[in-house]
Amino acid sequence: MDLLQLRYFQAVAYRGHLSQAAAELHIAQPSLSRAIARLEADLGVPLFERAGRGLRLNHFGSAFLRRVDRALRELDDARQEVVDLAGLDHGRVAVASETLLTLTGLVSAFRAEHPGVDLRLYQSSAETMAQQLCAGEVDLCFASQPLLLPGLQAREVLREEVLVAVPGTHRLAKRKRVRMADLANEPIVTTRPGYWPRTLADRLFAEAGLEPNYACESDEPGATGQLISAGLGIGFVPEVARRATIGDVTAVGLVLDVPDCSRSLSVVQRSDSYVSAAAQRLAEFAADYFANPSFAV
């Protein structure tokens, strides 16, 4: 077996589909199929079983993937360690976040100080971010909810109050504070499951014994404020958004009278592998950046 076969196997294992893995690897699907077949022949056992139109690891494949992940991560770490010896002028960092709007100011400030670092950004749900970290696809994640896979460590860099945002013409707009009971039957603007605003909303409504009326669900948490300003409903937004959207006369931010209505932003990384100098510097830079009360999303 060779290194290329292992990377092909890893891609198919995580994507569960030959065509998707081939597209990601920029190779023809027949070439990928032949590479996987040669690997299975070399090992003497099948690694996948059919699952509808896709592929699923069997018990041989699952055991092999754990070792392949570890081996490829060691090789990637070794390559990165050599790059680090050349300093931050040649570094590379891959970062994932639930919303890239959280990172715009941070990335701009970091690039100004370290123009030689190559930054790659991905928008992902919490589940996908955890998988990307464990697979070595990203170095750091900026998460607003726990990433539930072993081998990860998190450092909180921001905690802020979450407000109820309502259009300026809404019946609650002249209030300063509201209760969950005030939100009953209101159309709610939120995200799809997997993103922190939806996780928070689900918890708050469940604790209040209310059935949420989700009228608008998106894959971009940062768009919630604009959608509320457009009159599509009300929703939960972080306090910092007051300067970006809630500060607009078309929307108002109200304090919600419930305990622990907050958003925690953490930098998450793997705890069992090498972290590049550039990634370490970005994590430290983020802690300083978000500690500054003047930052804006």
pLDDT digit string, tens, across residues 27-58: 999 999 999 999 999 999 999 998 888 899 99
With a cut of 90, say whether residue 136 has pLDDT above it: no
Structural domains of the chain ordered from first start: 3-69 (1.10.10.10), 81-157+265-291 (3.40.190.10), 159-263 (3.40.190.10)
Residue 161 pLDDT more than 50? yes
The pLDDT score that the predictor gives to residue 242 is 55
| CA 93 to mean position of chain CA atoms | 15
**pLDDT score of 48:** 94
Above 50 in pLDDT, residue 133?
yes
Residue 246 pLDDT > 60, yes or no?
no
Q: Is the pLDDT confidence value at 10 over 50?
A: yes
Distances in Å between the Cα of 44 and the Cα atoms of 1, 31, 59, 61, 118 are: 12, 20, 14, 12, 41
Does pLDDT of 249 surpass 60? no
Determine the pLDDT at residue 55.
93
3-state class of 138 per DSSP? Answer: coil
Q: Is 172 helix (H, G, I), strand (E, B) or coil?
A: coil
- The 3 state secondary structure assigned to 266-289 is EEEEECCCCCCHHHHHHHHHHHHH
What predicted TM-score, i.e. pTM, was given to this entire model? 0.69
Within 13 Å, how many C-alpha atoms sit on residue 283's CB side? 20
Give the pLDDT confidence score for residue 247 in this predicted structure. Answer: 47
Average pLDDT over residues 185-212: 94
